Amino acid sequence: MAAALQIWSPTFSRSFDSLPDSVRETVQRKIDEMGTRLENFPHKRLQGRPEFKLRVGDYRVLYEFDVKLGRIYLHYVGNRREIYKRSR
């Protein structure tokens, strides 16, 4: 199966662009890895929310996905201390 299509929200795009280069590369690599095995990736849903979280060191990516369409909807990215407050 091909890698899932990544659909970036404007909020995700702005936050991603402001990350340090090394963090940006690590986050992108982890998202790409998730996209290549979307169906059997260990997704962790946020409690009481529709989004899932992807841990990348001290950063989190909040996303939703559709296995049938092969898409990942990327909503937010940021430091773990701030991401849950900002994304409500």
pLDDT tens-digit series, residues 7-31 = 999 999 999 999 999 999 999 999 9
pLDDT greater than 90 at residue 83: no
Token pair 């970036």 is found at 8
Q: What is the pLDDT of residues 29-69, one digit of tens each?
A: 999 999 999 999 999 999 989 999 999 999 999 999 999 99
Strand order in the sheet with 71-79: 5-8, 71-79, 59-66, 52-56, 44-45
Q: Which helix (H) or strand (E) holds 54?
A: strand 52-56
Rounded distance between C-alpha atoms, residue 31 and residue 71, angstroms:
12
Q: What is the CATH superfamily name and number for domain 5-86?
A: RelE-like (3.30.2310.20)
Q: What is the pTM of this model?
A: 0.91
Torsion of CA 14, 19, 83, 63, to 10 degrees: 70
The domain ranges of the chain are 5-86
